Amino acid sequence: MTQGFLTVCRQDMIDRNIEQFDFVYVIGDAYVDHPSFGHAIISRVLESHGYSVGIISQPDWKDEESIAIYGRPRLGFLISGGNMDSMVNHYYVSQKRRQTDAYTPGGVMGKRPDYATVVYGNLIRRKYKDVPVIIGGIEASLRRLAHYDYWSNSFKRSILLDSQADLISYGMGEKSIVEIAEALDGGIDVKDITYIAGTVYKTKDITGITGNEDVRYNAVVLPSYTEMKENSRFYADSFKIQYENTDAFSGKTLAEPYPNGIYVVQNPPAKPLTTQEMDDVYALPYQRTYHPSYEEAGGVPAIAEIKFSLISNRGCFGGCSFCALTFHQGRIIQVRSHESLIAEAKEIINDPDFKGYIHDVGGPTANFRHPACQKQLTAGACKNRQCLFPSPCPNMDADHSDYLALLRKLRELPGVKKVFVRSGIRFDYLLAEKDDTFFKELVEHHVSGQLKVAPEHISDTVLSKMGKPENKVYERFVKKYYQINDSLGKKQFLVPYLMSSHPGSTLKEAIELAEYLRDLGYMPEQVQDFYPTPSTISAVMYYTGIDPRSGEKVYVCKNPHEKAMQRALIQYRNPKNYELVFEALQKAGRQDLIGFDKKCLIKPRRAEHTQQQSKAYGGQKKKEVKPHKVVKKKTIRNVHKKK
């Protein structure tokens, strides 16, 4: 028995004299008792309300007995596929298998199945026919209604049906899981738990919810699964409705019809947590590390990224098309108090492995610690208007004062040498604030030599599909960043994240990006090839060829070879990419970029090169020059200054 941690095996149960758990929680990750892990939060929240929870981590999905080690739970089974969708966890965008799993002891791959939530749900159903099953976590949350699945290239039903679960607790889940527990504990049949915000259930009768006079609970009937599967345009229409109903204040109940008279019904999202509620969640008795039983295997690699970091906020009003945060955490910012964060920071400082560096203070977007506007506090986020895209809303209140005050307090704590901000800065929001105080202190105190930012692309055509600001906004940010660095006598750099083959990007836009990088004299070391993940606008565009926001058609790069060309263009200086870049330029009719001029991306092939030399020197062969010479990498600082 390990004091402080939750029960993870039958012997723990015996040692603690537990006859029956209220809930058995089956998880696809290793058990890490840290508030960065969803299973830790849900377990501790239930425990704080008097419910006992037994953890079954990464059970053998081929053996029914693996989920029966504690016997039948009193109230029900909980299932989470893990901190990541199991398919994203397992596969690269190329659909090749990843070699390691950061959420498994020793980083070993293959300890959870593909589509883990579905597999675990069916495993439980085979063993226990009538025990309530509640699924949650990122995988269940983002697959709660019918969705396109990239890995099988198919249109899938709600995960509620495929997993044979009774309920989905979607979003972050602290409020809904307690209400579910109280309902089950009060003797309510799981089939009658149809009223809890932040949940999804199945029914054959929606007359009660569509006929309710309360307009908030008056259900919107979506296109049917059959219609969407037969014609993807219906899916684009459905997704637009879903996207407009992700707000806890204005969101409607949604009903999705299936064959045989079944409806999957999504209740409106749970209300955002107040600051006090957030503080209470993060004050629970987490052990802040992985279970000691994993030590022999080398521990759980994922802990390294978060052990000395602080989560200060939730929610994101950034509105990036390729991000599912709107569907999972919502657009309304939720924050912890300074007192809560400082108390956790002191715990970190007392850790024997702490070296004086707080690695991050942030969340989905680090510098979102202030409501987007005052209206959101009472009326919620706008249905048909983004806060930052295509340009900042006139009602948006850009304010970093609270975040700045927090960072100042943290960096003054005894034992703290440096407080970094690494979870991402939204640069257009930063520029929207007229006062530069935060920007200056960010550069002076909170950058670890280089600041990671995500312009993603430079073509405004592509950026508009990404839900990102125009390139001129990023250029303005870059200029200001280096001006501040120069004024402080610092030499710090920018590391821009870029994405290839996003919907809207043809070879033309990919070449524009390559030319931009040429003018900077910079080649990114990492490039993200677009990855269509469930419940994102970008994935809908990828599957349907339609932008669900406008109904307009969108070019989608699906051919693996063209995707490889678009990716290679971003790293055109890499000799391994020469053939792909050459082919892309030929195909796009941009042979003007193949040659010896400083504006060219690559030199001609060896044979063509020799012919050009021979012609130029009257048939006399000049000393052969290699067709592609690697240019020594320049720092992003120098190339921006040069420009």
Structure tokens at 633: 């990498």
Q: Residue 605: which pLDDT band, with cuts at 50, 70 and 90? A: confident
pLDDT at 507: 97
pLDDT at 217: 55
| Dihedral pair phi/psi, residue 202, rounded to 5° | -120, 150
Question: Is the confidence at residue 612, as pLDDT, over 80?
Answer: no
CA pair distance 301, 183, nearest whole angstrom: 37
Amino acid, res. 414: P
Question: What value does the mean pLDDT take over residues 409-415?
Answer: 97
Question: What value does the mean pLDDT take over residues 518-525?
Answer: 87
Question: What value does the mean pLDDT take over residues 599-621?
Answer: 64
CA pair distance 329, 326, nearest whole angstrom: 6
Question: Is the confidence at residue 500, as pLDDT, over 70?
Answer: yes
Which secondary structure element, helix H or strand E, spans residue 264, and what is its range? strand 262-266
Helix locations, 244-371, DSSP H: 275-282, 303-306, 325-328, 338-349
**Count of beta carbons in the 10 Å neighbourhood of residue 293:** 16
Cα dihedral 289, 290, 293, 296, rounded to 10, equals -90
Structure tokens at 115: 């589509």
Q: Residue 617: which pLDDT band, with cuts at 50, 70 and 90? A: very low
Question: Is the confidence at residue 616, as pLDDT, over 80?
Answer: no
Which of 290, 287, 324 lies closest to 305 in space, CA to CA? 290
Domains of the chain plus CATH, in order, are 10-198 (3.40.50.2300), 201-269 (no CATH)
Residue 381, C-beta contacts closer than 8 angstroms, at least 6 positions apart: 246, 247, 249, 250, 317, 330, 331, 332, 372, 387
- Helix, strand, coil shares of the chain, percent, nearest 5, are 40, 15, 45
Average pLDDT over the chain, rounded to an integer: 92
Question: Is the confidence at residue 20, as pLDDT, over 70?
Answer: yes
State what percent of residues in the chain have pLDDT above 70: 92
User: Are 514 and 601 in contact, with CB atoms under 8 Å apart?
Assistant: yes
Of 145-154, 207-216, 540-549, least confident by mean pLDDT is: 207-216
For residue 562, CA distances in Å to 71, 476, 583, 584 come to 52, 32, 10, 8
Q: Which residue has the tokens 């089950």?
A: 184
Question: What value does the mean pLDDT take over residues 155-179?
Answer: 98
pLDDT digits (tens, 9 = 90+) for 26-51: 999 999 999 999 999 999 999 999 99
CA pair distance 41, 169, nearest whole angstrom: 14
pLDDT at 626: 42
Q: Which residue has the tokens 């949604």?
A: 254
Amino acid, res. 642: K
Question: What value does the mean pLDDT take over residues 249-265?
Answer: 96
| Dihedral pair phi/psi, residue 330, rounded to 5° | 85, 175
257 preceded by a cis bond (ω within 30 of 0):
no
User: Are 254 and 220 in contact, with CB atoms under 8 Å apart?
Assistant: yes
For residue 350, CA distances in Å to 161, 175, 295, 454 come to 47, 31, 21, 34
Say how many CA atoms lie within 13 Å of 547 toward its Cβ.
Answer: 16
Helix locations, 49-198, DSSP H: 86-90, 116-127, 137-142, 159-162, 174-185
User: Are 562 and 510 in contact, with CB atoms under 8 Å apart?
Assistant: no
Structure tokens at 421: 């901000």
Amino acid, res. 259: P
CA pair distance 592, 595, nearest whole angstrom: 7
pLDDT at 379: 86
390 preceded by a cis bond (ω within 30 of 0):
yes
Question: What's the chain's length in residues?
Answer: 643
Task: Give the pairing of strands 199-203 and 262-266.
Answer: antiparallel
Say how many CA atoms lie within 13 Å of 211 toward its Cβ.
Answer: 4
Structure tokens at 133: 């099953």
pLDDT at 633: 42
CA pair distance 320, 545, nearest whole angstrom: 18
Residue 580, C-beta contacts closer than 8 angstroms, at least 6 positions apart: 564, 565, 568, 569
CA pair distance 307, 289, nearest whole angstrom: 7
Q: Residue 2: which pLDDT band, with cuts at 50, 70 and 90? A: low
Q: What is the DSSP string of 270-297?
A: PPPPPHHHHHHHHTS---SEE-GGGGGG
Which of 364, 360, 368 lies closest to 419 in space, CA to CA? 360
Which secondary structure element, helix H or strand E, spans residue 167, and what is its range? strand 167-169
Q: What is the DSSP string of 453-515?
A: EEEE-S-HHHHHHHT---HHHHHHHHHHHHHHHHHTT---EEEEEEEES-TT--HHHHHHHHH
pLDDT at 621: 46
Question: What value does the mean pLDDT take over residues 62-79?
Answer: 97
Question: Is the confidence at residue 639, as pLDDT, over 60?
Answer: no
Question: What value does the mean pLDDT take over residues 538-567?
Answer: 97
Question: Is the confidence at residue 319, as pLDDT, over 50?
Answer: yes
CA pair distance 4, 47, nearest whole angstrom: 12
Which of 524, 521, 539 lies closest to 577 in space, CA to CA? 524
Residue 303, C-beta contacts closer than 8 angstroms, at least 6 positions apart: 32, 34, 289, 290
Question: Is the confidence at residue 207, as pLDDT, over 90?
Answer: no
Say how many CA atoms lie within 13 Å of 427 toward its Cβ.
Answer: 24
Cα dihedral 378, 434, 426, 329, rounded to 10, equals -10
Which secondary structure element, helix H or strand E, spans residue 615, and what is its range? helix 606-616
CA pair distance 83, 172, nearest whole angstrom: 11
Characterize 267-290 residue by residue with b for buried, 16 or more Cβ atoms within 10 angstroms of its Cβ, and e for exposed: bbbbbbbeeeebbbbbeeebbbbb
Question: What value does the mean pLDDT take over residues 369-382?
Answer: 88
State what percent of residues in the chain have pLDDT above 90: 86
pLDDT digits (tens, 9 = 90+) for 554-566: 999 999 999 999 9
CA pair distance 256, 157, nearest whole angstrom: 10
pTM: 0.91
Question: Is the confidence at residue 210, as pLDDT, over 90?
Answer: no
Q: What is the CA radius of gyration of the chain?
A: 26
